Homo-oligomer: A and B are copies of this chain.
Amino acid sequence: MSDVASAAGVSHQTVSRVLNGHPSVRPETRERVQDAIARLGYRRNSAARALVTRRTDTLGVVTPASALYGPTSTLVAFEQAAREAGWYVSVATMRRFDADSMRTAVEHFLDHGVDGLVVIAPTTEVAQAVVGVEVPVPVVMISSAPELPLGANAVAVGVDQRFGARLATRHLLERGHRDVLHVAGPQDWFDAQDRLAGWREECAAWGVTPPEPVTAGWSADDGYAVGRRLVADGLPGAIFAANDQLALGLEHAFADAGVHVGEDLALVGFDDEAGSAHYLPPLTTVRQDFARLGERAIAVIHGALTGKPDTGARLVAPELVVRRSSGATS
């Protein structure tokens, strides 16, 4: 920096001012400095800067170490939003979700002086691990459970899974089905809990008593297993599967048994994964707006950091995508 200063014939402080866009620098001086910076290929040392400003312009993201649809999409979307807002993103994946791993991840980020923390917390376990850790920076939890008992400077944002589930269920009810079975995801996942709850609510709102839900994992294998069991034990008229993979497995099992999804049975999934438009039959499903979710998360952190708490929505609404599996004609 002092090299630049002498090359431009000014003091290092003036260089700093130019770098930080300070207003009171004469345009001609500014230009001379910028010239010198370019000529010398100067690059400001961010460690030194962070040392004195106590800001790193970095956000830490803790996310489950899985290539599952939800967490991954959330991560990508969040990174985009962060970058747009001038933040860098550091990532730590967690293989296990115990409080200890969480503490380790969080401490690593605190050691590195992140300005804020985002925890992609799909399960109760992760969320509870967060609750236990004292954190001196704003924390956003990305999950659909806004009523979580979070610490003072923690906020949750998420996609409104419950609403999505109601959309899916309503669609099936509107098509005349009264026995809408729910194949639920693992119940330690918020998304699974909320989709189950949404399904229950919508059925109740229609005065329909649904069959007992079936609980499974998230994978197509799980869906296949459930499908085989249903084929053996008797099929409902409609199924709302907790995600597209489950729906895919169900379609497989039904195809094996000669059951025509979309005709003999209506099926709706959740996620609108790449490819679900080409399942056999193409899957009616619920699409989540991850981009907006990322923006919301950033807004919350920004708000906490500037002292003007964000007042925007905590939940982002998903939308229904209708395809043939639910019996639509298109």
Q: Chain A residues in contact with chain B, CB under 8 A?
A: 43-48, 50-51, 56, 58, 65-69, 72-73, 76, 79-80, 83, 88-93, 95, 107-108, 110-113, 219-221, 223-224, 245, 248-249, 251-252, 255, 273-275, 277-280, 282
Residue contact B278 to A220, C-beta cutoff 8 Å: yes
| A302 vs chain B, min Cβ distance (A) | 19
Residue contact A91 to B92, C-beta cutoff 8 Å: no
Contacts of A251 in B (CB 8 A): 278, 280
Kindly report how many copies of this chain are found in the complex they form together: 2
Residue contact B220 to A46, C-beta cutoff 8 Å: no
Residue contact A80 to B65, C-beta cutoff 8 Å: yes
| A116 vs chain B, min Cβ distance (A) | 15
Q: Which of B67, B255, B278 contacts A249 (CB 8 A)?
A: B278
With contacts A76-B67, A280-B252 known, is A46 near B111, CB below 8 A?
yes
Residue contact B248 to A46, C-beta cutoff 8 Å: no
Residue contact B248 to A278, C-beta cutoff 8 Å: yes
Q: Which of B65, B90, B221 contacts A58 (CB 8 A)?
A: B90
Residue contact A278 to B223, C-beta cutoff 8 Å: yes
| A280 vs chain B, min Cβ distance (A) | 5
Q: Which of B50, B112, B275 contacts A275 (CB 8 A)?
A: B275
Residue contact B44 to A111, C-beta cutoff 8 Å: yes
- Docked Cα-Cα span, A251 to B251, in Å, equals 14
With contacts A45-B113, A274-B219 known, is A65 near B79, CB below 8 A?
yes
Contacts of A280 in B (CB 8 A): 251-252, 255, 279-280
